[in-house]
Amino acid sequence: MPTYDYTCSACGYEFEHFQSMSEEPIRICPSCDGRVRRKIGGGTGLIFKGSGYYLTDYVKKTNLS
């Protein structure tokens, strides 16, 4: 599930909300009850997890015999 960024047009309060893509966007600011707009972002892209990734991990190996 993605995290969406919201900005209140009344007070300028910015917040994130973790929600399903099928859920309706939040419309009310939790700070002042004003109207909020969901900001469009590029997302996080590719995230590498683990001990690390190096250029040599994907190099074509040759037979040295």
Residue range 2-59, pLDDT digits in tens: 889 999 999 999 999 988 889 999 999 999 999 999 987 766 666 666 666 666 666 6
Q: Write down the pLDDT at residue 21.
A: 84
Model pTM score: 0.60
Asked whether residue 34 is assigned to any structural domain, the reply reads yes
Q: Write down the pLDDT at residue 55.
A: 62
Asked whether residue 24 is assigned to any structural domain, the reply reads yes
Asked whether residue 18 is assigned to any structural domain, the reply reads yes
Asked whether residue 6 is assigned to any structural domain, the reply reads yes
Is the pLDDT at 65 greater than 60? The verdict is: no
What is residue 62's three-state secondary structure? coil
Asked whether residue 49 is assigned to any structural domain, the reply reads no
Q: What residues make up the domain containing 34? A: 1-41
Asked whether residue 62 is assigned to any structural domain, the reply reads no
Q: What is the CATH number of the domain that holds 13?
A: 2.20.28
**How many domains would you assign to the chain?**
1
